Amino acid sequence: MSAQILDGKAAAAAIKQNLTSRVAGLAFHGIVPGLGTLLVGDDVGSQKYVAGKHRDCAAVGIASIQRALPATATQREIEAVVAELNADPSCTGYLVQLPLPRGIDANRVLELIDPAKDADGLHPTNLGRLVLGEEAPLPCTPNGIIRLLRRHGVEIDGAHVVVIGRGITVGRSLPLLLTRRGENATVTQVHTGTREMAAHLRQADIVVAAAGVPHLVKPEDVKPGAAVLDVGVSRDETGRIVGDVHPGVAEVAGWISPNPGGVGPMTRAMLLENVVTSAERAARA
């Protein structure tokens, strides 16, 4: 027996097709959504991610605004580009690619982003709105995970979800989405300080592994039939992605997200959706 595949590539393609028609609807009103990115430094991985986001934009008809600064950029120089993107009417949403170089106060940069243009859904105001149950752009990876589960008919209502990790983008924010009344899951969040991690994992109907530890989730820790989502992006010596989920888990789980081809493409699709939604909101205002 082998797990069913949570195919993020196919799900993202379907979402992008839907976004293409929403973008066409905006064009009818003379509006072209524009995604801005600010990339600081020369990390090859970050360059690839940013390039992928702009390729997606081209495919659905979103304009691209690409800004880059050298690794030596100062806090002030970075903040000046943020101010420019805030003021640029052609930029309806943008993100500052993380991580920023050492010595830069990333939280201070993120706080300066206009919350109405926050494509990542990670601005403190928008995270606060999420806590309060108010409308806000949602964090892309958590939102993508929920959409991927729904598309494949994995029951979230009443499920016990174990989220591994406590990063802002996934570990901290995903439980907020999963415990909304619409999702209605019961969530356990575990991290490197958790005792008996395996005992928690074995209880889970759904496991989301976002720790960044290669092959952390082992087959013997997974309840047979559970859904397992692999968010981890570590790399081996040859540059290939190594996820947080051991390959043997596919023999035990009921559903599994491949990596690559699972959560990553969904994250990008949700980024585009945030940009289109904020352009639609601006058009109504």
Ligand X SMILES: Nc1nc(=O)c2c([nH]1)NC[C@@H]1CN(c3ccc(C(=O)N[C@@H](CCC(=O)O)C(=O)O)cc3)C=[N+]21
Active site residue 120: yes
Binder of ligand X out of 5, 63, 98, 176 (CB under 6 A): 98
Query: Which strand ranges, in their side-by-side order, compose the sheet holding 34-40?
Result: 63-69, 34-40, 93-96
Q: Is 75 a catalytic residue?
A: no
Nearest to 203 by CA among 224, 188, 223, 179: 223
In whole angstroms, give the CA distance from residue 170 to residue 174: 5
218 carries an active-site annotation: no
Query: What is the C-alpha separation between 127 and 245, in angstroms, rounded?
Result: 28
Helix (H) or strand (E) holding 110: helix 106-112
Q: Is 106 in the site for ligand X (CB under 6 A)?
A: no
Instruction: Tell whether residue 257 is a contact of ligand X (CB under 6 A).
Output: no
Tell me which of 265, 269, 273, 280 binds ligand X, using CB under 6 A.
Answer: 265
- Of the two residues 10 and 283, which places its CB atom closer to ligand X in the complex? 10
| Strand pairing class (34-40; 255-256) | unpaired
Q: How far is the CB of 146 from ligand X (least distance, A)?
A: 16
Lookup result for tokens 């952390």: 216
Q: Minimum distance between the CB of residue 77 and ligand X, rounded to whole angstroms? A: 18
d(CA 21, CA 14): 11
Determine the Cα–Cα distance for residues 227 and 253; give it in Å rounded to an integer.
6
Q: Is 166 annotated as a binding residue?
A: yes
Please give the residues from 22 up to 81 whose contact with ligand X meets the rule CB under 6 A. 48-49, 52
Confirm or reject binding of residue 15 to ligand X (CB under 6 A).
Answer: no
**Residue in this structure with the two tokens 């606060």, named with its chain if needed:** 128
Given the residues 120, 205, 230, 244, select the one marked as catalytic.
120
From the list 7, 53, 118, 221, the catalytic residue is 53
Selected range binding ligand X among 56-64, 66-74, 95-103, 211-219, rule: CB under 6 A:
95-103
Question: Cα dihedral angle (173, 211, 233, 258), rounded to 10 degrees?
Answer: -80
Q: Smallest distance from the beta carbon of 235 to ligand X, in angstroms? A: 9
Q: Of 267, 274, 277, 278, which one interacts with ligand X (CB under 6 A)?
A: 267
162 annotated to bind ligand? no
DSSP states along 267-282? HHHHHHHHHHHHHHHH
Site for ligand X in 117-136 (CB under 6 A): 120
Contact residues toward ligand X (CB under 6 A) are 48-49, 52, 95-98, 120, 140, 233, 241, 260-261, 264-265, 267-268
Catalytic positions, written as ranges: 53, 97, 120
